[in-house]
A and B are shown apart, each in its own frame.
Chain A
Amino acid sequence: MIDIFTGGSKLRFIALAILLVALITLPFWVTGIYYINVGSQILFYAVFALGLNILVGYAGLVSLGHAGLFGISAYATGYMLQLGAGHGTAIAVALIIGVASMAVFAVLSLRSSGIGFIMITLALGQILWGLAYRWISVTGGDNGISVRGRPAPFGFSLSEPINFYYVSLIVFLVAVIMVAIFVRSPFGAALMGTRDQPRRMNALGYHVWMIRFYACLFSGLLTAVSGILFVYYTNFISPQTLALTSSAEVLLMVISGGPGTLLGPIVGATLVVIIKTVVSGFIERWNFLLGAIFVAIVILVPEGIVPGAIRLWGLITRKRAATPTASAATTERTP
């Protein structure tokens, strides 16, 4: 298992500390609100990718319907606010609806694994996308739902981009810590066991279906959280958010960064968001660039950027370590 916390080397700890300091101080060293907003987007998309990674990376279940779950939480928030509910109520309802929807997804899709699971989640995601378009009385159809205002807990108004960034950062850090604890736990080990040898796990006394079901719920929770942050960020939700391309995009975040790693989805989310929002301002054909980068990742580091970088780093350091020995051996042989 490749994980940034595994091994606990000093170098990794220092790298993490630097990363954390960089994230906390980001609003002070980036120029302008625009980049702070990009930072917020990276953070909530990273939470989304971390949620999907629970299934793709740790459970071996590839979902192509997660944008539907992301969108349903966003819609639930928008709809509740439209009904006149407070932010707290809207968020609570959105979380419940998000996790409950994931439970329904799981019950239907866990009847299968592999291609079957992918196809069922794809179909369910498309149903939600269709509902968003057609259930106009609730979703507003093509026009979507506009959300007025952001919460201001304890007078800390999230309408300020910097404040929104910090709240996103807190949510992101909590999500990272939760996932880090989860994957190292007995349940995390059991989940990874069901990914690698489900038949064996069954014969060892594990309830494979139930383990996968609980993993789906956890994934659904993180997805719902990110959906809520998204709707508060954009102040708008439309059917496009639930489209298949959105599901594919977050799946690419996980796969490009490295499924089954803690850092991978975060790196993947950073890559995709930067290309989509920043690079697209300079390059008209940014989709082409994104595609080319993914092709390069698949060819050079098929396991993903993070595990690939660890592998390449290992090769370099081993080579360095081997060089003096080799030269010493040559010297010994030289008369």
Chain B
Amino acid sequence: MSALTITGLNKSFGGLHVTRGVDLNVQPGERRLIIGPNGAGKTTLFNLITGELTPDSGTVALFGQDITRTPSRDRPHLGMARTYQIITLFGKDTIIHNVRLALLGLSPTRWNPWTDLRHQGRFTEAGHKALARVGLSHIAERPLAQTSYGERRRVEIAMALAQEPKVLLLDEPFAGLSIDERRDVHKCLMAIPRDVTIVMIEHNMDVALEFAERITLLHFGEVIVEGNRAEVVDDPRTREVYLGH
């Protein structure tokens, strides 16, 4: 059974077709890279998969379960987590509180208005474990405002990992990072175990190609090339619309 199956997905904004009959089949444990020039519809595809946008037609299935009409807020409960291209964190709080919120999101405790969250030690413990996976547990209590851009990227990944997803969607995790920060994030991603399926959008081909096993090239909302690294890189259409050489 596929981890993620997308069939004939279409989405238009007025007269603009941003996703045209996209089919995608991602196997459990696979590392899939989505590439394409700006405006190809990569982030829109992510938003359709996570339910932030509703498709005009087509279906999305997670481990065989049709989730096309499942509200986006319910998808994390089914094992889907994502990060954003533009870092979206809780800037007034500490790093550990950000991760605690991620953990709380999947727990019925989130409705509890009586107990003190700080006394819910299990969230703090699990938060530290998630931060350790991205090498940030030593600065867990630091306010987010006092962290670097690269550390914030890793906090985003820690929040996603804290939810123990089955499918993880990473939207340009290397965007805007320095060489050192890129190396740190790459290390975190490589350490994610195989029981987590990863679909990643990325423009930085050096790190992305090293990470991905299969690659899908989108152009004007359509899948035009799909295959393993060698197949996609060698395809003349990839060179024409994306690599440019």
Contact = CB atoms under 8 A, between A and B. Distances in A.
Interface of A: 1, 181-182, 184-190, 193, 196-197, 199-208, 214, 218
B142 to A, nearest CB: 15
6 contacts: A1-B92, A190-B104, A190-B105, A205-B77, A206-B110, A207-B73
A214 B100 CA distance: 21
B8 interface: no
A214 B72 CA distance: 20
B117 A206 contact: no
A196 B115 contact: no
Contact of A204 (B91, B102, B116, B117): B102
A196 B144 CA distance: 13
Interface in B58-116: 72-77, 82, 84, 88-93, 97, 100-102, 104-107, 109-116
A189 B100 contact: yes
Residue from B74, B92, B113, B163 having most chain A Cβ neighbours under 10 A: B113
Contact of A196 (B84, B92, B113): B92
A201 B109 CA distance: 15
A189 B75 CA distance: 21
Contact of A189 (B89, B91, B104): B104
B117 A184 contact: yes
Interface of A is mostly: helix
A187 B73 contact: no
B57 interface: no
Contacts of A201: 101, 105
A308 B231 CA distance: 61
B159 interface: yes
Given A186-B104, A205-B105, A205-B163, A181 B114 contact: yes
B201 to A, nearest CB: 15
A189 B117 contact: yes
Residue from A1, A187, A208 having most chain B Cβ neighbours under 10 A: A187
B213 interface: no
Contact of B101 (A181, A190, A214): A190
A199 B73 contact: no
A201 B101 CA distance: 8
Nearest to B120: A186
B118 interface: yes
Contact of B88 (A187, A189, A199, A206): A199
A2 B171 CA distance: 33
B50 interface: yes
A214 B111 CA distance: 10
B235 interface: no
B93 A187 contact: no
B52 interface: yes
Given A186-B109, A186-B117, A187-B113, A204 B100 contact: no
Given A186-B107, A204-B106, 19 more contacts: A1-B92, A181-B116, A185-B115, A185-B116, A185-B117, A186-B115, A187-B110, A187-B111, A189-B101, A189-B104, A193-B90, A196-B92, A197-B89, A200-B90, A203-B52, A204-B76, A204-B105, A204-B159, A205-B75
B76 A184 contact: no
Interface residues of B, number: 37
A269 B196 CA distance: 53
Interface of B: 50, 52, 72-77, 82, 84, 88-93, 97, 100-102, 104-107, 109-118, 120, 159, 163
A24 B133 CA distance: 52
The 9 closest A-B pairs by CB, nearest first: A204-B105, A205-B76, A205-B105, A187-B113, A200-B88, A185-B113, A186-B112, A184-B116, A186-B117
Contacts of A207: 73
A182 B116 CA distance: 8
A203 B116 CA distance: 24
A202 B118 CA distance: 22
A214 B118 CA distance: 22
A214 B110 CA distance: 12
Contacts of B52: 199, 202-203
Contacts of B102: 204
Contacts of A193: 90, 101
A175 to B, nearest CB: 14
Nearest to A189: B117
A206 B103 CA distance: 11
Contacts of A189: 97, 100-101, 104, 117
Nearest to B112: A186
Contact of B90 (A185, A186, A197, A218): A197
B117 A196 contact: no
B112 A206 contact: no
Contact of B112 (A185, A199, A208): A185
A204 B115 CA distance: 21
A203 B50 contact: yes
B150 to A, nearest CB: 19
A199 B120 CA distance: 25
Residue from B84, B101, B109, B115 having most chain A Cβ neighbours under 10 A: B101
B113 A1 contact: no
